[in-house]
Every structure is written in structure tokens, then in C-alpha cells.
Amino acid sequence: MKSKNFWSALVLIVVGVVFGALLVSGFSLVRPSFADIRLGAPNPPVNLDADASSFSKAFIEVAKNVTPEIVQITVVAKTDQDPHQNLFPFQFFNMPKEEEGSGSGIIISTDGYIVTNYHVVKNATSVKVDLSDKKTYTAKVVGTDPLTDIAVIKIDANNLPAAYLGDSDNLKVGQWVMAIGNPLALTSTVTAGIVSALGRGRLGLINNKYGVEDYIQTDAPINPGNSGGALVDLSGAVIGMNAAIATRGTDSFIGYGFAIPIDLVKSVAKDLIAHGKVDRGYIGVEIEDVDDAMAKSIGLDKPRGVMVSGIVKDGAASKEDIKPGDVILKIDGKDVDKANDLQSYIASKNAGTKVHLDIFRDGKDIERDVTLKPRDSGSKSTDVAENNSDNNDETNNSVTKFDKLGLSVRNLTQKEKSDFKINNGIMITDVTPYSTASDQGLSQGFVIVEANKEKIKDADQFKKIIKDKKGGAILLKVVDAQGNSRFIGLEIPN
């Protein structure tokens, strides 16, 4: 009997232990204490070395120190659009046409001067500035410069945290940068990337033939509202002012952003603060980039410099023996390889400033000094119509084809000469798509007035020049239907 009781007690003990274990582990009825809870692995997967920690710290320090120097700008501006046009089928008269927008700005002086984009404050009727410490001020527009998309505004405040304005001339592609601003109404946003390219121009962001486009391209995300904000390097120096984005089918960032170099911003801002406008000097030339075919056609060792395609009547260059076909290689000792290189440099100079040009002409290097003049809004290029050519009407208007070039031309009629205001040339009647002529920018309706600096009177003369230059290249001067002239290099196949 005792033995039976012993075994019964033992079974009960074992069942109790097992059931207790199930309660604790399987059914979670007994919880561990807060102090006993351990989440995640005990150590990070990578131990950062001193260099990596320092690199990360640079971003942190820049964000901390530069963010207070960037402001949010809210603008109410006049607009040509009827604010009710999407609601009603009829027009409201005598109703205010205004809209609200926002952007960013950079504090450039402790007493309240702020630089931003012209397009941020364009047509503004009121401007409000919010600082990073949540203080709000009403601002006045001091001055604007639409040709560079730069504006300066002013708030009545003192002891502000002014940004350190760096040197954009020493930027390198691949350099780390940070964009700081207020995109999509999200205040004090910081993004990072690298300098993707320098000297980006001809983007069509400024709708003016005298507009200066010489942008820093970056893959640091820039979105609407970032305009006027800062692009900074890892020392916290502002090296550009954010201005635009590259996008397809959306208004938000999907590729690249563009910033105005801070050296240009500083120059324009000083003029706007001092005078309310920019007293800009002009060299008085129309210019274009030099490509490989153009360089070969004039005997230049490689594509470099910018070619003068036209001279502005009574402009600065017209007084100093500068001619269409000249290639400007340097200005004040600085290499010029793109049209916007020259534009941005001149844009930073006032009227009356003398600049020194190194020029390639007819296989020789020459030098010229030019004193910049203010622009006359009515001035025009005068290199197209020259009245010393034969005025004979051409009776043979048959088409001459150059199949290897993908080009067809014919002689001009007297009426066409009158319409184009020229006395010589041949009409381009057809350009084959994807041909040599097409690749070099020739188009139907252009008139070729010169080839290798010879005035072209008829198609036979042009045919002889092409024949003599097989395997080489020739420089063409063409005029479009609007009377604009430019040079085009054309390689001639064997």
C-alpha cells in the first residue's frame, strides 16, 4: 500500500513539473521582468573606424550649423490666371488675381539681407519670412535680376546667423554636397549627394537670349520649395543656391537638381543691395560652342573656346577688332570652353570693366582688350547682311544633292535674298534625318552664306568647295528664317 502511494505521489510531482514548464514557456502565462528583456543582437554588425565616424559627423555638424541660416519664404504674387477659371464657365471682372507660393532663402548678412531666386518673389505683393527659431517677419524686395534668377529681400532684424559664402570656382565633380531648404512645405529639410556636373547651360530655364545659365548639377534631392535654398559643402560653406530640378512628367525630384554658383550669386547680390539693380556690362557678341567638326574646319588643335557668330552693332566688341569666326579661348586668363563659361564670367562684371581676351583667328593667336558696355535693348547683330556682294538674280534654281552628306541645296531667288536681307547664299532644301548634315544641326530652310569664309554665290561654287575638302572639314555660316546667323562645322567624307 505504501509503495502504491509512493508511486502516485511521484507521478503527481512529475505532472506538476511538466505542467508548470508548459505554463511558463508554452503559454506565456508567466512574463519575464522588464530588466530581463533583451532585444536584438548584442553588438552592431560593423564597428565604424575613426574615418567613417568622422565622415558621418561632418554631415551632422553641417546640418546643425547651417540650417538656422536658411529661411522659408511665403509669397503672395500677382498672376495672369483667373483664380475662378476652373470653377465657373464665365470670367470674373475686377477680382484680384493672386496666388500663394513658397520657397527658401539664405541669410547673407546679420542685419537681415536674404538672397533667393527671382522666380520665388516674381510679381510679389507680399513676402513673409519664417526663421528656423519660428520667428516670422514681413520682408521687402530689395532688387531682382531675371537674367540670373537672383533676388535679394530684406527683413527688419539684427544679429541673424549669416551663412558663410564659399568659392564655387574650386568645386570638383564627385564632391559631396548637401541641399538645405524647405521642400514641399517641409521646413528645414536636409538632403545629400554629390556634384554631378559643372557648367550646365542651355537648359531653357531662363527664357531670355541674354539669360545666364551656368549651373552646378547635383543628385542631392531638390524639390519644389527648395528654390533659393543652399547647396553646401562638408565644411558648411554655401557653394550654390538651389534653383531648379530636372524631371519628366512630375513636379518633384526624380533625377537631378541645379544650383546657381555662389560666386555669381555674391556678385549679383552686392549690386542689388547697393543699387537695387544690376549695372551689368556686355561684351557685345553672339557666341556658340566649338565642336569637333568646327575645330577641324578652322585648324584648331581640339574643340575648345567659343566661336563668335555675330557682333552687336555699336557694342563693346565692335570697337575692338573682334570678328565673326573668331574663337575666344580665354578671358582674363581663364579658359573658356562653353558659351556659358563666358556668359557667367561677364555677368559678374559691371559696365566700364575692361576684360582681356585671348583669341584664335585664321590659325593665329591674337589678344584684344574690351571695355564692357551697358546693353542697348534695341541693339542687333549686324554681321549677316553685307552689301558688297553681287546682286545678280540666279536663274538656275535646280537642286544640287550631296548624298554622302545628306544635304540638298539650290540657288536663291531675288525675293528670298530680299526676305532674308542678304545678297548672297544658297538655300538648304532638304536634310536627310540622321545624316552628317543633320547631326551637325543643318536644317531645311537655312541659307548657307559662307563656306570657309568665302561668300557663297551659287550651288556650283559650294559644290567645288565640298569637292576640294573631301576627307576634311569646312566651316559654314548659316542664316535661319528669323535672320539669326551662326557657324557650323561640317566634316566631308571621302
Which residues carry out catalysis? 119, 149, 227
- The β-bridge relationship of strands 327-331 and 354-361 is antiparallel
Query: How far is residue 284 CA from its own chain's centroid?
Result: 23
> Quick check: helix, strand or coil at residue 454?
strand
> Quick check: helix, strand or coil at residue 231?
strand
State the Cα angle at 374 between 344 and 334, rounded to 5°. 30
Element (H, E) at 292: helix 292-298
Query: How far is residue 479 CA from its own chain's centroid?
Result: 28
- List, in order, residues 6 or more apart from 368 with CB less than 8 Å away: 320, 321, 322, 356, 357, 359
- Which among 234, 238, 121 has a CA at the least distance from the CA of 176? 234
Q: Can you name the residues that pair with 241 across neighbouring β-strands? A: 230, 260
Residue 191 in grid coordinates: 538632403
Residue 456 in grid coordinates: 557663297
- Which among 194, 169, 191 has a CA at the least distance from the CA of 180? 191
Q: Can you name the residues that pair with 477 across neighbouring β-strands? A: 450, 487
Residue 329 sits at φ, ψ, to 5 deg, of -95, -35
Contact 429, 409 (CB under 8 A): yes
How many helices (H) and strands (E) the chain has is answered by: 9, 25
Task: Outline where 22-137 has alpha helix (H).
Answer: 50-66, 118-121
- Which among 157, 152, 170, 221 has a CA at the least distance from the CA of 191? 221
Residue 374 in grid coordinates: 551697358
**Residues found in the chain:** 494
Helix 262-275 vs helix 339-347: angle between axes, to the nearest 10 degrees?
Answer: 30
